[in-house]
């Protein structure tokens, strides 16, 4: 007689063993918890290694070579740090980084402010709030390809609705300005679209934060005769802050590597006005076929995002501990 | 029972495999890759004769122009087997020849008696040879093309506009002969109301991502005297690419863009230009001759309403080259089948039918036919254009050279940054750096 299995893992292994042919059953029953854990996570690890870790290591290797994907027969030579040096000394790449920073800053600022405001309103639970929540969420459910093309039409100077709305309120003739063709307006055109699409996402996270604040804290504040303004700044904002910071982190990482929307709306133009880092990277890698140099650029971007995200997560943890 | 199960399993596996690997060609099947545009439809029609004659099924992979280079060059670079035959852009020939993507056709041509002297010399040089000007053939000239112009003949013919134009410029309102005249005509139409709609002078190429603005601006640069090098093969670009003539040409292109392009056409290429013309927004538009048959047939703006003209000259007569050659992809599993298609396609009778269907044949049997010039309203202009074409670099590094030019031109023309001289000086520096990397400088 054998001992009855005690842990959940052992019971699972036992059940699995009973349901399998005898030869395999002996093996399964003999597996330790650790072995079973490895059994379950190995496929995921293998997949991660194949599609994430290996390409990353390969990209690091390529970044030190002169490899070009369109010249498979050419000899691949090591070039040391030359690719990194050229990327970091390339004025156009620094301009693209500035464009990216501008885009990330303004989209995050607008999405956080508007998203939090919407969450605050939705949290009031007015009549029909469920319906309006669904309506507000629609933009983020759409594909970026659909959104990009849709807004291209809206921004069309001669037939676009956006220009007509602006014209209606300001009196400026609709075809007198080009949101996507003007150097000064094109960056803002993209910021508007991204804000329209992703503010609901920030709103959802903020709403989760607001709903996690226990009612008794507000009740205690009422007893202490704290004003609504004071409650907002002393209870609502500090307690929702970790959630807001989380939303900022997610949107920051996403917008740092933003590609599809910009490509569809302006293709990086006019000129290079809206050429964010990801578009420059795509051009270097798949239009100019400078695989080695573009790998170096990708690694620099990865390190920058990874480093900034780590610093930010540490700050987030500090806020949570308060 | 067990045998039956095995047989069924085998059959289902075979069925699964045959559907799961679409790129795997059958021996009696050929896949031809090209851009998705009007002439591609004509080629589908034409190829039915090949299928009828040989029993080979033709499959087609047509990629929209903005993604054509990305898609097909990725296919070639990754050693894919999607295409047996490829009608690739003229600029790809250097890289594709040097990287072994195309089959060299000299021996095949010799064996089958296909003579390159039977095709227009400019087309052979542009679409088939690498290194340039040498008798090393990597493609059969398949589709001659150049950047040309079309205009609203019915608007030009309006008596009140004729009179006003003559009074203002002292000549008849007609297709412009020079870039100066082109701008005058474009300005004349811009802002007018015709048929109840505000119209603009000209739709020109401004696309940033692929090749659009380069193909458009070179249509001004070449006639003004732009050259890629002072001496062929020396890569001495200073004083050629950024010469005073080149600067004047680029300024002329920007002036045309500023004065007369419809609003919103800041990133426009073939499709957008055609839309602008078909929707009655512009009096003139530049585009590839390949689209002219379709435009002429257009119910709304074609027929008597449309006229065509070759790219205006300025200091010299010049047109930007388009068009492609047909190559056999080295990686194909069906090389014999692909070569058989090329042999069939090179026949004079097939070339004549190709032209009749809307393809731009460059076989001398077609071009030298006495009835050719009158066969289509744009045929004579096509002949003129093909005799004055100039092409972009066809170097293996053409893609990076093109990207540099796209950026510098778009920055100057559309984004209004710097001067023409600064843009072309910067372009020379970009290109020098590229050729230094290539070891050619």
Residue B92 neighbours by CB under 8 Å, 6+ apart = B69, B73, B398
What is the reported pLDDT for A287?
85
Centre a 10 Å sphere on the Cβ of residue B188 and count the other Cβ atoms it contains. Answer: 18
CA-to-CA distance for A113 and A100, rounded, in angstroms? 20
Environment class of A293 (CB within 10 Å of its CB; exposed 0-12, middle 13-18, buried 19+): buried
Q: Which residue has the tokens 């990865």?
A: A302
> At B363, is the secondary structure helix, strand, or coil?
strand
- Which of A92, A271, A289 faces B417 most closely, judged by CB atoms? A271
Give me the mean pLDDT over the B406-424 stretch.
96
- Which of A69, A266, A272 faces B407 most closely, judged by CB atoms? A272
- Which of B76, B403, B417 faces A283 most closely, judged by CB atoms? B403
Mean pLDDT, chain B, as a whole number? 91
What whole-number percentage of chain B has pLDDT above 90?
A: 82
Residues of chain A with Cβ-Cβ distance to B263 below 8 Å are 157-158, 175-176, 178, 181
- Which of A72, A176, A269 faces B267 most closely, judged by CB atoms? A269
Question: Residue B421 pLDDT more than 70?
Answer: yes
Listed as own residue / partner, the contacts of B113-121 with beta carbons closer than 8 Å and 24 or more positions apart are B114/B140, B114/B342, B114/B343, B114/B346, B118/B346, B118/B348, B118/B363, B118/B364, B118/B365, B119/B362, B119/B363, B119/B364, B120/B144, B120/B362, B120/B363, B120/B364, B120/B367, B120/B386
CA-to-CA distance for B119 and B130, rounded, in angstroms? 17
DSSP string, B47-106: HHHHHHHH-PEEEEEEE-HHHHHHHHHHHHHTT--S-SEEEEEGGGHHHHHHTT-B---H
DSSP string, B386-419: HTSEE----STTHHHHHHHHHHHHHHHHTS--S-
Question: Taking a C-beta distance cutoff of 8 angstroms, is the pair B74, B101 a contact?
Answer: no
Environment class of A185 (CB within 10 Å of its CB; exposed 0-12, middle 13-18, buried 19+): middle
Residues of chain A with Cβ-Cβ distance to B207 below 8 Å are 267
Task: Give the pLDDT band (50/70/90) at residue B232.
Answer: confident
Give kind and range of the element (H or E) at residue B198.
strand B197-198
Q: Decide which of A4 and B244 is more confident.
A: B244
CA-to-CA distance for B260 and B203, rounded, in angstroms? 8
Contact at CB, A156 and B399, closer than 8 angstroms: no
| A69 in reach of chain B (CB within 8 A) | yes
Pick the closest to residue B407 from A44, A95, A304, A8 (CA basis): A95
pTM exceeds cut of 0.90:
no
Contact at CB, A286 and B70, closer than 8 angstroms: yes
Contact at CB, A158 and B403, closer than 8 angstroms: no
Question: Residue B359 pLDDT more than 70?
Answer: yes
Domain boundaries, chain A: 8-62, 82-321
Mean pLDDT, chain A, as a whole number? 89
Contact at CB, A269 and B77, closer than 8 angstroms: no
Mutating which of A66, A287, A292, A293 best tests the B interface, going by the most B Cβ atoms within 10 A? Answer: A287
Please name the residue of chain B whose CA is at the shortest distance from the CA of residue A86. Answer: B433
What is the reported pLDDT for A63?
97
Q: Decide which of A30 and B387 is more confident.
A: B387
Query: What backbone phi and psi angles, to 5 degrees, belong to A91?
Result: -60, -35
Question: Taking a C-beta distance cutoff of 8 angstroms, is the pair A123, A210 a contact?
Answer: yes
Contact at CB, A270 and B266, closer than 8 angstroms: yes
A7-17 pLDDT, tens per residue? 665 666 566 65
What whole-number percentage of chain B has pLDDT above 70?
A: 94
Task: Give the pLDDT band (50/70/90) at residue B396.
Answer: confident
CA-to-CA distance for A120 and A244, rounded, in angstroms? 12
CATH topology classification for A82-321: MetI-like fold (1.10.3720)
The CA-atom distances, in angstroms, between B167 and each of B162, B171, B259, B316 are 9, 8, 21, 28
What is the reported pLDDT for B319?
97
CA-to-CA distance for B350 and A228, rounded, in angstroms? 84
Q: Cα angle vertex B192, ends B298, B313, to 5°?
A: 70
Q: What is the torsional sign of CA A77, A82, A87, A92?
A: negative
What is the reported pLDDT for B212?
94
A131-172 pLDDT, tens per residue? 888 999 999 999 999 999 999 999 998 889 999 999 999 998
How far B371 CA sits from the closest chain A CA (Å)? 43
CA-to-CA distance for A116 and B250, rounded, in angstroms? 50
Give me the mean pLDDT over the B81-105 stretch.
92
The CATH number assigned to the domain with range B147-320+397-437 reads 3.40.190.10
Contact at CB, B100 and A73, closer than 8 angstroms: yes
A203-227 pLDDT, tens per residue? 999 999 999 999 999 999 999 999 9
What is the reported pLDDT for A11?
67
Question: Taking a C-beta distance cutoff of 8 angstroms, is the pair B361, B293 a contact?
Answer: no
Pick the closest to residue B120 from B144, B139, B136 (CA basis): B144
Task: Give the pLDDT band (50/70/90) at residue B27.
Answer: low
Task: Give the pLDDT band (50/70/90) at residue A27.
Answer: low
B302-320 pLDDT, tens per residue? 999 999 999 999 999 999 9
- Which residues are registered as beta bridge partners of B31? B59
Contact at CB, A72 and B79, closer than 8 angstroms: yes
CA-to-CA distance for A190 and A41, rounded, in angstroms? 41
Could you give the residue range(s) of every CATH 3.40.190.10 domain in chain B? 26-145+322-390, 147-320+397-437
Contact at CB, B208 and A267, closer than 8 angstroms: yes
**Number of A–B residue contacts, CB under 8 Å:** 93
Instruction: Please give the torsion angle defined by the CA atoms of residues B87, B93, B96 and B100, in that order, rounded to the nearest 10 degrees.
Output: 100
Environment class of A322 (CB within 10 Å of its CB; exposed 0-12, middle 13-18, buried 19+): exposed
- Which of A69, A157, A287 faces B264 most closely, judged by CB atoms? A157
Question: Residue A71 pLDDT more than 90?
Answer: no
Query: Tokens in use for B128?
Result: 């088939």
What is the reported pLDDT for A23?
59
Give me the mean pLDDT over the B412-431 stretch.
96
How far B36 CA sits from the closest chain A CA (Å)? 20
Question: Residue B122 pLDDT more than 90?
Answer: no
Pick the closest to residue A258 from A176, A156, A187 (CA basis): A187
The CATH number assigned to the domain with range B26-145+322-390 reads 3.40.190.10
Sheet with B282-288, strands from edge to edge, namely B200-203, B282-288, B147-152, B306-309
Contact at CB, A71 and B407, closer than 8 angstroms: no
Question: Residue B204 pLDDT more than 50?
Answer: yes
CA-to-CA distance for B120 and B144, rounded, in angstroms? 9
Alpha helices for chain A (secondary structure H): 8-18, 22-29, 33-48, 54-62, 82-88, 91-122, 129-141, 144-154, 161-170, 186-211, 215-223, 228-231, 237-256, 260-265, 277-282, 291-321
Contacting A with CB below 8 Å, chain B residues are 69-70, 73-74, 76-77, 79, 95, 98-100, 207-209, 262-267, 396, 399-400, 403, 407, 410-412, 414-417
What is the reported pLDDT for B2?
45
Q: Which residue has the tokens 């009031």?
A: A124
């Amino acid at each position: 007689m054998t001992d009855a299995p005690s842990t959940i893992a052992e019971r699972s292994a036992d059940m699995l063993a009973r349901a399998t042919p005898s030869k395999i059953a002996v093996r399964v029953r003999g597996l330790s918890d650790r072995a079973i854990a490895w059994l379950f996570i190995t496929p995921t690890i293998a997949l991660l290694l194949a599609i994430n870790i290996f390409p990353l290591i390969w990209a690091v290797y390529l970044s030190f070579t002169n490899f070009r994907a369109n010249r498979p027969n050419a000899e691949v030579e090591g070039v040391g740090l030359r690719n990194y040096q050229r990327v970091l000394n390339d004025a156009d790449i620094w301009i693209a980084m500035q464009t990216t920073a501008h885009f990330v800053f303004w989209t995050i600022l607008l999405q956080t402010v508007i998203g939090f405001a919407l969450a605050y309103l939705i949290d009031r639970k007015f009549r029909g709030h469920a319906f309006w929540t669904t309506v507000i969420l629609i933009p983020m459910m759409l594909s970026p390809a659909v959104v990009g093309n849709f807004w291209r039409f809206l921004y069309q100077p001669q037939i676009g609705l956006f220009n007509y709305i602006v014209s209606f309120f300001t009196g400026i003739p609709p075809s007198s300005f080009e949101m996507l063709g003007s150097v000064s307006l094109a960056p803002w055109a993209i910021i508007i679209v991204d804000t329209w699409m992703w503010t609901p996402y920030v709103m959802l996270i903020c709403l989760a934060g607001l709903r996690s604040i226990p009612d008794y804290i507000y009740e205690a504040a009422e007893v202490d005769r704290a004003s609504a303004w004071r409650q907002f700044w002393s209870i609502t904002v500090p307690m929702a802050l970790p959630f807001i910071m989380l939303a900022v982190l997610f949107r920051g990482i996403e917008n740092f590597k933003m590609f599809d929307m910009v490509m569809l709306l302006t293709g990086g133009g006019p000129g290079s006005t809206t050429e964010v880092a990801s578009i420059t990277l795509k051009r270097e890698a798949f239009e100019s076929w400078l695989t080695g140099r573009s790998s170096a650029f990708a690694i620099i971007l990865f390190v920058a995002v990874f480093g900034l995200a780590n610093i930010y997560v540490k700050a987030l943890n500090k806020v949570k501990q308060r | 029972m067990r045998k039956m199960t095995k047989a069924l399993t085998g059959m289902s596996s075979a069925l699964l495999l045959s559907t799961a690997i679409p790129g795997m060609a059958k021996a009696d099947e050929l896949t031809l890759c090209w851009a998705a545009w009007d002439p591609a439809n004509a080629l589908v029609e034409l190829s039915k004769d090949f299928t009828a004659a040989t029993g080979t099924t033709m499959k087609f992979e047509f990629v929209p122009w903005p993604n054509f280079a990305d898609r097909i060059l990725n296919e070639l670079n990754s050693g894919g087997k999607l295409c047996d035959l490829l009608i690739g852009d003229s600029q790809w020939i250097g890289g594709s020849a040097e990287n072994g993507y195309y089959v060299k056709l000299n021996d095949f041509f010799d064996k089958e008696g296909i003579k390159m002297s039977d095709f227009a010399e400019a087309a052979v040089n542009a679409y088939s040879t690498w290194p340039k000007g040498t008798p090393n053939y990597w493609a059969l000239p398949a589709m001659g093309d150049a950047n040309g112009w079309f205009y609203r003949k019915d608007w030009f013919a309006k008596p009140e506009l004729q009179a006003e134009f003559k009074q203002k410029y002292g000549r008849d309102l007609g297709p412009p002969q020079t870039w100066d005249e082109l701008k005058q005509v474009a300005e004349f139409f811009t802002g007018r109301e015709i048929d109840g709609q505000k119209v603009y002078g000209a739709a020109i190429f401004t696309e940033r991502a692929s090749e659009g603005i380069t193909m458009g601006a070179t249509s001004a640069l070449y006639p003004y005297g732009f050259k890629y090098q002072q001496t062929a093969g020396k890569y001495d670009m200073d004083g050629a690419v950024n010469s005073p003539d080149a600067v004047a040409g680029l300024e002329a292109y920007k002036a045309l863009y500023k004065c007369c392009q419809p609003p919103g056409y800041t990133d426009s290429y073939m499709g957008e230009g055609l839309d602008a013309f078909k929707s009655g927004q512009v009096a003139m538009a530049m585009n590839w001759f390949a689209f002219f048959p379709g435009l002429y047939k257009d119910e709304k703006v074609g027929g008597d309403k449309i006229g065509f003209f070759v790219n205006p000259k300025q200091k010299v007569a010049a047109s930007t080259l388009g068009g492609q050659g047909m190559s056999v992809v080295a990686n194909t599993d069906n090389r014999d089948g692909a070569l058989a298609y090329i042999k069939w396609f090179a026949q004079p009778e097939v070339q004549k039918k190709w032209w009749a269907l809307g393809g731009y044949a460059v076989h001398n049997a077609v071009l030298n036919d006495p009835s050719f010039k009158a066969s289509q309203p744009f045929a004579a202009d096509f002949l003129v254009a093909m005799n004055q074409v100039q092409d972009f670099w066809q170097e293996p590094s053409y893609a990076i050279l093109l990207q540099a030019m796209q950026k510098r031109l778009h920055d100057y023309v559309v984004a209004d940054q710097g001067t023409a001289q600064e843009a072309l000086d910067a372009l020379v520096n970009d290109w020098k750096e590229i050729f230094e990397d290539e070891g050619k400088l």
